[in-house]
């Protein structure tokens, strides 16, 4: 099994062979992304693999940076500004700011410029009836305008099309006739769900992903076959669940946010092995800290997610909150003379000052290098030499009256507090007590920074898993193949509705069965759920369990009971006298796959203790220099205990224990860090 996580700076490759974990890290080629993937695949030996599981942030980065192809948006006449209007929600920082604008609005950086958003004369009623027939002559005239504009793809979202897809289907045929073979996505196939804006934005993102990933997938598949790979190429979706690449390309909007979600699944899988089922997961890379949560061994999954504020995608996704706190976070002085860390980042180009490739501003990496935490000769497995003198010059150049020692000390502590605030906010939003949760530290910078966060968030412990620098890629070999479908239909859950609900589920299950390979049909499990609400409410309670088999009057009664139980669990109230309305019906076809197994670490012979490789000096952490032992993680054994301050090194990461902490080495090589 091979898992590949394609990031903006590095491509992480892991392989599981005969129970051993092999890892490779290569630079990402941002212009031809598949080259880095194929290079890593060749280096790790792809010809022997049965599956190749892939996740990427390439599409996400394209949306964020607006390096997007030119597409058009067709909707019902009079509604072409729906992409600009959004949901009329503002973030907290924009509530009192009259100059605030959406990042994707016409006043800033629209995904589709207004002249490429065209209204089509037609109208369907809420129950799917035809109020105004599709005006084909007017539609052809609008398409002629788009042909002259040279659009590369078309997104179609007509009002109420999730109930009746006839007009969208015919409009897609007209696009083919007028514009030729350009990618076209229609909302009734992409996201046949209620609420027009989310359906529209999802359809637009789907067209972008078709253009971004379509040729890429073909080139990647051909390159892998040239390397003698004969297995299945799978893509991860926004919940880090796998689906065959050809099926993923039918609706590629589902893979736009796959990379960060894989780390959450990896944490859940590894936590189950070591008996830690309540986890706060923190993936600290070069630019950001991605924070998520696992409760009772399961990631927290949403029915939608935001690419930017209020830019909605209708896809099941692991809930992840990102903050600007990573190894590349810039240390700056603001207009008030205050020292700040992040959210800006030096990225890979020009990078931290100590890289010596053009960066002049200090970063968190420069901070940890000057403190003595990072080894200047062993960074990135010894492939990169760092220059502490460049870090010193960058800090000395800051426009502040603070002493040099204060600058470095404050930079470290502010960066730590930024992460602690992000983790605490996630816990508060979900109403959990951090003392009941373990903090999982991964990403290249996570083990270096998260132990210092422990006392601030009051979590039970910090867990540093094996291979933390490539832990998200391990999530791609820790998950199942999952094919999903959903339908919206506003239906009061009464005995009379049983037949129509049964037809919805059976049609979705039949459609999903047709997507499965013959070898998978005998081991598939169908998981049903629905999103419901009390009649008269606006928003739904998602993922209510639905019984298997034929939906009868008794089955509907069970669905209603399940809704009231879930509603009471979420809100603390139960209103059994009120009728329940089903809104969205969901099915997942789960094909259980083999998962990574972490080898058991041998114990050290009785009477022996781990030997440090040398003694370091940690500076600027307190008012005086602190001696700290340095250990190589490869030399540790199960049952070892290491007292802080200490530094534990491995090729792609560094773990830093602050004074008053002890790290115990677990049976699978994990470091469990607690207060001494």
426-441 residue pLDDT tens:
999 888 999 999 999 9
Residue 383 has pLDDT above 80, yes or no: no
pLDDT in tens, 318-344: 888 888 888 889 999 998 899 999 888
The answer to whether the CB of 281 falls within 8 A of the CB of 450 is no
Given a contact cutoff of 8 angstroms between Cβ atoms, the answer to whether 21 and 14 are in contact is yes
Q: How far is CA 299 from the centre of its chain?
A: 12
Most confident of 77-86, 131-140, 278-287, 511-520: 131-140
In this structure, are residues 438 and 459 in contact, taking their beta carbons and an 8 Å threshold? Answer: yes
Per cent of the chain over pLDDT 90 is 65
Run of H or E residues at 523: none
Nearest CA-CA partner of 50 in 25, 28, 23, 18: 18
Q: What is the pLDDT of residue 78?
A: 95
Residue 653 CB-density burial (10 A; 0-12 exposed, 13-18 middle, 19+ buried): buried
CA–CA gap between residue 53 and residue 55 (Å, rounded): 7
| Average pLDDT, integer, range 276-288 | 90
Inform me whether the pLDDT recorded for 195 exceeds 80: yes
Residue 39 has, within 13 A of its CA and on its CB side, a CA count of 15
Which run of H or of E encompasses 112? none
**Strand partners for 590:** 482, 525
Confidence label for 523 from pLDDT (cuts 50, 70 and 90)? confident
The pLDDT-based confidence of 473 (bands split at 50, 70, 90) is confident
Look at residue 242 and tell me whether its pLDDT is greater than 80: yes
Is the pLDDT at 562 greater than 90? The verdict is yes
Residue 169 pLDDT: 96
Mean pLDDT throughout 588-600? 89
pLDDT, mean of residues 504-527: 90
Work out the average pLDDT over 599-610.
Answer: 90
pLDDT score of 258:
80
Alpha carbon 17 to its chain centroid, in Å, reads: 26
Dihedral sign from CA coordinates of 641, 644, 649, 654: positive
Q: Which positions ≥6 away from 364 have C-beta within 8 Å?
A: 325, 326, 327, 328, 329, 331, 341, 411, 412, 415, 445, 449
pLDDT digits (tens, 9 = 90+) for 158-191: 999 999 999 999 999 999 999 999 999 999 999 9
**Cβ pair 508, 485 in contact under 8 A:** yes
DSSP string, 71-104: EEEEEETT-TTHHHHTT----GGGTT-TT---TT
For residue 606, pLDDT over 80 is answered with: yes
Q: Is 133 exposed, middle or buried (0-12, 13-18, 19+ CB in 10 A)?
A: exposed
SS3 of residue 13 by DSSP:
strand
Q: Give the model's pLDDT for residue 61.
A: 80
Residues 194, 162 contacting (CB under 8 angstroms): yes
The stretch 520-529 carries a mean pLDDT of: 90
Cβ pair 212, 29 in contact under 8 A: no
d(CA 6, CA 32): 12
Please state, as a whole number, how many other Cβ atoms lie within 10 Å of the Cβ of residue 331. 28
- Kindly state the tokens that stand for 171: 């409009």
Dihedral, CA of residue 448, residue 450, residue 454 and residue 457, to nearest 10: 150
Q: State the CB neighbour count (10 A cutoff) for residue 393.
A: 15
Pairing of the two strands 301-302 and 317-318: antiparallel
pLDDT in tens, 289-298: 889 999 999 9
Q: What is the pLDDT of residue 554?
A: 96
pLDDT at residue 217 is higher than 80: yes
SS3 156: strand
Q: How many CB atoms sit inside 10 A of residue 322's CB?
A: 16
Burial 344-363 (b: 16+ CB within 10 A, else e): bbbbbeebbbbbeeebebbb
Region 505-529: mean pLDDT is: 90
pLDDT at 349 over 80: no
Residues 5 and 259: their CA atoms lie apart, in Å, by 6
Q: Has residue 157 got a pLDDT over 80?
A: yes
Residue-averaged pLDDT of the chain: 91
pLDDT confidence band for 347 (50 / 70 / 90): confident
């Amino acid at each position: 099994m091979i898992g590949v996580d394609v990031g903006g700076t590095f491509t992480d490759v892991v392989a599981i062979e005969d129970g051993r974990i092999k890892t490779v890290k290569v630079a990402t080629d941002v212009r031809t992304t598949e080259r880095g993937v194929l290079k890593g695949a060749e280096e790790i030996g792809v010809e022997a693999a049965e599956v190749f599981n892939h996740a990427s942030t390439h599409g996400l980065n394209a949306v964020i940076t607006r390096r997007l192809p030119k597409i058009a948006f067709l909707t019902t006449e009079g509604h072409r500004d729906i992409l600009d209007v959004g949901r009329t929600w503002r973030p907290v920082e924009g509530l009192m700011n009259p100059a605030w604008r959406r990042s994707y609005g016409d006043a800033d950086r629209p995904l589709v410029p207004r002249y490429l958003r065209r209204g089509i004369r037609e109208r369907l009623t809420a129950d799917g009836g035809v109020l105004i027939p599709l005006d084909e002559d007017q539609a052809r005239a609008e398409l002629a305008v788009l042909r002259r504009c040279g659009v590369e793809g078309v997104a179609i979202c007509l009002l109420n099309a999730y109930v009746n897809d006839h007009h969208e289907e015919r409009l897609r045929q007209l696009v083919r006739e007028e514009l030729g073979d350009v990618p076209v996505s229609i909302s009734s196939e992409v996201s046949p769900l209620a609420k027009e804006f989310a359906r529209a934005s999802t359809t637009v993102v789907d067209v972008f992903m078709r253009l971004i990933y379509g040729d890429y997938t073909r080139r990647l598949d051909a390159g892998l076959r040239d390397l003698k790979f004969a297995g299945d190429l799978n893509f991860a979706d926004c919940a880090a669940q796998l689906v065959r690449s050809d099926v993923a390309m039918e609706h590629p909007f589902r893979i736009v946010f796959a990379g960060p979600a894989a780390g959450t699944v990896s944490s859940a899988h590894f936590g189950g092995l070591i008996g830690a089922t309540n986890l706060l997961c923190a993936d600290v890379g070069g630019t950001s800290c991605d924070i998520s949560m696992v409760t009772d061994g399961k990631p927290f999954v949403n029915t939608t997610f935001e690419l930017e504020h209020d830019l909605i995608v209708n896809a099941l996704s692991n809930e992840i909150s990102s903050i600007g706190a990573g190894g590349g976070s810039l240390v700056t002085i603001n207009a008030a003379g205050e020292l700040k860390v992040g959210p800006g980042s030096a990225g890979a180009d020009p990078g931290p000052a100590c890289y010596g490739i053009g960066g002049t501003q200090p970063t968190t990496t420069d901070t940890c290098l000057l403190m003595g935490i990072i080894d200047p000769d062993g960074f990135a497995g010894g492939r990169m030499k760092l220059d502490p003198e460049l870090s010193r010059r960058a800090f000395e150049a800051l426009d502040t009256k603070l002493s040099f020692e204060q600058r470095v000390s404050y930079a470290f502590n502010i960066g730590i507090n930024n992460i602690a605030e992000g983790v605490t906010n996630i816990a508060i939003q979900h109403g959990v007590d951090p003392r009941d949760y373990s903090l999982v530290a991964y990403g290249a910078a996570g083990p270096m920074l998260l132990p210092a966060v422990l006392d601030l968030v009051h979590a039970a412990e910090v867990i540093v898993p094996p291979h933390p620098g490539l832990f998200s890629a391990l999530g791609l070999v820790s998950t199942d193949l999952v094919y999903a479908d959903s339908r919206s239909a506003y239906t009061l859950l009464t005995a009379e509705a049983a037949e129509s609900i049964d037809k919805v589920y059976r049609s979705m299950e039949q459609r999903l069965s047709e997507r499965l390979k013959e070898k998978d049909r005998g081991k598939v499990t169908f998981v049903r759920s629905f999103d419901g609400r009390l009649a008269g409410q606006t928003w739904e309670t998602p993922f209510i369990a639905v019984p298997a088999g034929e939906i009868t009057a008794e089955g509907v009664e069970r669905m209603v009971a399940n809704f009231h139980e879930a509603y009471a669990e979420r809100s603390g109230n139960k209103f059994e006298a009120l009728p329940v309305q089903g809104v969205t019906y969901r099915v997942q076809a789960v094909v259980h796959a083999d998962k990574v197994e972490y080898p058991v670490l041998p114990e050290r012979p009785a009477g022996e203790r781990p030997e440090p490789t040398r003694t370091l000096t940690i500076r600027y952490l307190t008012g005086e220099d602190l001696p700290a032992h340095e250990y190589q993680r490869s030399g540790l054994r199960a049952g070892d205990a290491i007292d802080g301050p200490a530094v534990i090194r491995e090729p792609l990461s560094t773990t830093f224990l602050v004074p008053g902490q002890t790290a115990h080495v677990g049976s699978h090589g994990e470091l469990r860090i607690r207060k001494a």
